């Protein structure tokens, strides 16, 4: 085992332990975020037992998805409508449905291929200007409209709280998304995944109900 692989193995073990402790018996799914991570390192991560991988840029993701088609790939970043054709059919879950025009573009491409497209709706809980995501006040109506799209499957919610070095500052946003997750029961959608928590704040997110965490830097720190 090379030094890099040993480091990666130790990181994975540590994150899985921390996740298990935070989950306290609940099932929490780990998405390993491989943006800016070299293909060979991603391959090692799969060999070491990670199964679900996330990317936030289509251009960077496509060669990795093509090289490692057996992994479960998630798309977690802002998605432009002109890239929808590259994403539908290649990623098993899109975390970042953040506007109606994107819902329509996903629906159109999925209908063309006659396959379902599974998505989470991204909610901008803090109302940050520069961030994607729905205003919580629009969520209920958005879900009701999305439920009518034949090939779109809404399976939950995602959020990214405002950046802060102190994870406790994220807690109110996680708590509010969890509340919306249980409040928004719309026929034709399923609230199965609550995607929240990254390297710096996943334990707080899990404590506030997350069952899908997206972790990059803590897994790949010190590995090149
Ligand atoms: C990069 C990224 C992550 C992972 O962030 P880390 O702090 O590296 O764990 C999670 N979610 C999204 C949407 C990202 O772009």
CATH (domain of 146): 3.20.20.10
Say if ligand 1 is within 6 A of residue 33 CB.
yes
pLDDT one-digit tens code per residue, 143-158: 999 999 999 999 999 9
**198 within ligand 1 shell (Cβ under 6 A):** yes
CB 138 within 8 A of CB 172: no
Name the residue of 54, 91, 197, 219 whose CB sits within 8 Å of the most ligand 1 atoms, as the mutation to test its pocket: 54
Q: Residue 33 and residue 121: Cα distance in Å, rounded?
A: 19
The answer to whether 64 and 32 are in contact (CB under 8 A) is no
The response to whether residue 199 sits with its C-beta less than 6 Å from ligand 1 reads yes
For ligand 1, mutation pick of 76, 177, 202, 219 (most atoms within 8 Å of CB): 76
Q: What is the pLDDT of residues 175-220, one digit of tens each?
A: 999 999 999 999 999 999 999 999 999 999 999 999 999 999 999 9
Q: How many domains in the chain?
A: 1
Would you place residue 1 in the very low, low, confident or very high pLDDT band (cuts 50, 70, 90)? Answer: confident
Distance CA 56, CA 34 (A): 9
Q: What beta strand segments (E) does the chain contain? A: 29-33, 52-55, 72-75, 93-97, 117-122, 152-158, 193-195, 212-215
* Residues of the domain holding 68: 3-220
């Amino acid at each position: 085992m090379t030094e890099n692989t040993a480091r990666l193995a130790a990181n994975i073990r540590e994150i899985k332990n921390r996740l298990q402790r935070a989950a306290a018996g609940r099932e929490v799914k780990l998405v390993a975020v491989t943006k800016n991570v070299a293909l060979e390192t991603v391959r090692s991560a799969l060999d070491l037992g990670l199964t679900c991988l996330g990317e936030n840029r289509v251009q960077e993701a496509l060669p990795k998805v093509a090289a490692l088609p057996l992994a479960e790939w998630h798309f977690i970043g802002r998605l432009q409508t002109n890239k929808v054709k590259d994403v539908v059919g290649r990623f098993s879950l899109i975390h970042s449905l953040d506007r109606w025009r994107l819902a329509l573009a996903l629906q159109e491409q999925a209908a063309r291929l006659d396959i379902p497209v599974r998505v989470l709706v991204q909610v901008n809980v803090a109302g940050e200007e520069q961030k994607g995501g729905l205003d919580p006040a629009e969520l209920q109506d958005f879900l009701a409209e999305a439920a009518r799209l034949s090939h779109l499957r809404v399976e939950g919610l995602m959020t990214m709280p405002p950046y802060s070095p102190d994870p406790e500052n994220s807690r109110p946003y996680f708590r509010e998304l969890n509340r919306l997750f249980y409040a928004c029961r719309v026929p034709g959608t399923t609230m199965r995944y609550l995607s929240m928590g990254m390297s710096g704040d996943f334990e707080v997110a899990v404590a506030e109900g997350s069952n899908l965490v997206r972790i990059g830097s803590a897994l790949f720190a010190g590995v090149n």
